[in-house]
C-alpha cells in the first residue's frame, strides 16, 4: 500500500488524524519540525521524520524516501494574535512554506493534497450558519495566509492537475477518546483547555471577553467540532480526491456560548470554574457556526460528537491523565 504523508502530524489535529488513518489501514509518514508539535503524540506505528516547510532539502528527503500517494497538510502557524504582531512569520511559513511543499510534491509526481484550512478565511460573518458560498474577507494575517493557500491550490489545479480538498473547520475541540493523545499548546488559546485548567487550579480564572453580545446570554457563540470528527473528515477527503476538488466546512452546525461551555465543564468535572469578566476583544464576532451540509453530501461525513458535554468529557479525561 502507498503511504500518506502527514505534514504537521505531531500537532493536535494532525496526531489525531494519524491515529485514525493507522486504525483504518493506512501507512503514515509524519513530518514535523516539532516547533509546536510533540514527538510523543506520534503513534509508534507511524514513521517519523523531522522536516520543515522552510527547508526544501528536508522536504525532498521525505519524498525521496517513501512512495507517497497523497499529502495531508497541517503544518501552519495558527495563533491569530501573533499573526497580527508578526505577519512575516505567518506569510513565510504558511504561504511560502506551502509553495515549497507543493514544489517537492510536483517533483515527486504527487498531486493529491488535503489541506487544513479554517473558518477564519470568512472573516466577519454576513450571515449564519456560514456556508461555503459565504464571502471570504479574512480580518487577520493568519486567515489571509490560509485563503492565499486555497487560491494557490486553485491555480495549481488548473495549471498542473493538482487534486485538492481544503477543509475549513470551526473550533477544534476535545481529545482522543482512548486518552492516548490530546491537546497541549504553548501558549494555550483554546477555550475548553483554558476552562479546564482554571477548574484544576492551574489558572486563576477563565477570562470571558464580553457579556453584552446580542446572543442568548450575552457571550460569544461558537461551533465546537470534536478532533476525532475532524480526523474522520480528513480520511474521507483523501478517499474523495479523485472525484472532487474544492472547499468544505467542518462543524457541527450547533452554536454554544462561552457561558454554556463553562457550565458544561462544571457539570463534567463536578467542580466550580472561577470566572473573570473582561471587555470584548476587537474582532470577535458574536456568532459563528457552520453550515455543514456540503461536507455531509460530498464526503458522506457526519459528526459523532454533537453534545458539548461529551466533547468536554474527552478533554477532561486528557487533562487529568495527560502525558505531554
Give the catalytic positions in this structure: 142
Are 232 and 176 spatial neighbours (Cβ–Cβ below 8 Å)? no
- H helix runs in the chain, sequence order: 12-23, 56-65, 80-85, 87-90, 97-108, 141-160, 191-200, 227-238, 258-269, 293-299, 308-321
Number of Cβ within 10 Å of residue 15's Cβ equals: 31
The C-alpha torsion from 280 through 282 and 285 to 286, rounded to 10°, is 10
Nearest CA among 236, 100, 102, 233 for reference residue 161? 102
39-60 core/surface letters (b: 16 or more CB in 10 A; e: else)? eebbbeebebbebbbeeeebbb
| Nine-digit cell string for 187 | 501558549
CA distance 224 to 311: 8
CB 230 within 8 A of CB 169: yes
Rounded Cα distance between 215 and 221, Å, is 7
3-state SS, residue 148: helix
C-alpha cell at 231: 480526523
Q: 293-299: long-range contacts (C-beta < 8 A, 24 or more apart)?
A: 293/131, 294/131, 294/132, 294/248, 294/249, 295/167, 295/233, 295/248, 295/249, 295/250, 298/240, 298/244, 298/248, 299/233, 299/236, 299/237, 299/240, 299/248
Per DSSP bridges, beta strands 221-222 and 256-257 are: antiparallel
Amino acid at each position: 500500500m502507498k503511504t500518506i504523508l502527514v505534514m504537521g502530524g505531531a500537532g493536535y489535529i494532525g496526531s489525531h488524524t494519524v491515529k485514525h488513518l493507522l486504525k483504518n489501514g493506512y501507512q503514515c509518514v509524519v513530518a514535523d519540525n516539532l516547533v509546536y508539535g510533540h514527538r510523543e503524540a506520534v503513534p509508534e506505528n507511524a514513521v517519523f521524520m523531522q522536516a520543515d516547510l522552510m527547508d526544501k532539502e528536508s522536504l525532498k528527503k521525505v519524498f525521496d524516501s517513501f512512495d507517497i500517494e497523497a499529502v495531508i497538510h497541517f503544518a501552519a502557524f495558527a495563533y491569530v494574535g501573533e499573526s497580527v504582531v508578526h505577519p512575516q512569520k505567518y506569510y513565510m511559513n504558511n504561504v511560502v512554506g506551502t509553495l515549497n511543499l507543493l514544489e517537492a510534491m510536483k517533483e515527486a509526481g504527487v498531486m493529491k493534497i488535503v489541506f487544513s484550512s479554517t473558518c477564519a478565511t470568512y472573516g466577519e460573518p454576513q450571515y449564519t450558519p456560514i456556508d461555503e458560498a459565504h464571502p471570504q474577507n479574512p480580518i487577520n494575517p493568519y486567515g489571509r495566509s490560509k485563503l492565499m493557500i486555497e487560491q494557490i491550490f486553485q491555480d495549481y489545479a488548473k495549471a498542473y492537475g493538482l487534486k485538492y480538498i481544503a477543509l475549513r473547520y470551526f473550533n477544534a475541540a476535545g481529545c482522543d477518546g482512548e486518552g492516548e493523545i490530546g491537546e497541549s499548546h504553548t501558549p494555550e488559546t483554546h477555550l475548553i483547555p483554558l476552562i479546564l485548567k482554571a477548574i484544576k487550579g492551574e489558572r486563576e480564572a477563565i477570562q470571558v471577553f464580553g457579556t453584552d453580545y446580542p446572543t442568548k446570554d450575552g457571550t460569544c457563540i461558537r461551533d465546537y467540532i470534536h478532533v476525532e470528527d475532524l480526523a474522520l473528515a480528513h480520511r474521507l477527503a483523501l478517499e474523495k480526491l479523485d472525484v472532487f476538488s474544492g472547499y468544505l466546512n467542518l462543524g457541527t452546525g450547533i452554536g454554544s456560548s462561552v457561558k454554556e461551555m463553562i457550565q458544561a465543564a462544571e457539570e463534567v468535572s463536578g467542580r466550580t470554574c472561577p470566572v473573570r469578566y473582561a471587555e470584548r476583544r476587537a474582532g470577535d464576532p458574536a456568532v459563528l457556526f457552520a453550515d455543514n451540509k456540503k461536507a455531509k453530501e460530498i464526503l458522506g461525513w457526519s459528526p459523532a460528537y454533537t453534545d458539548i458535554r461529551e466533547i468536554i468529557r474527552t478533554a477532561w479525561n486528557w487533562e487529568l491523565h495527560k502525558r505531554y
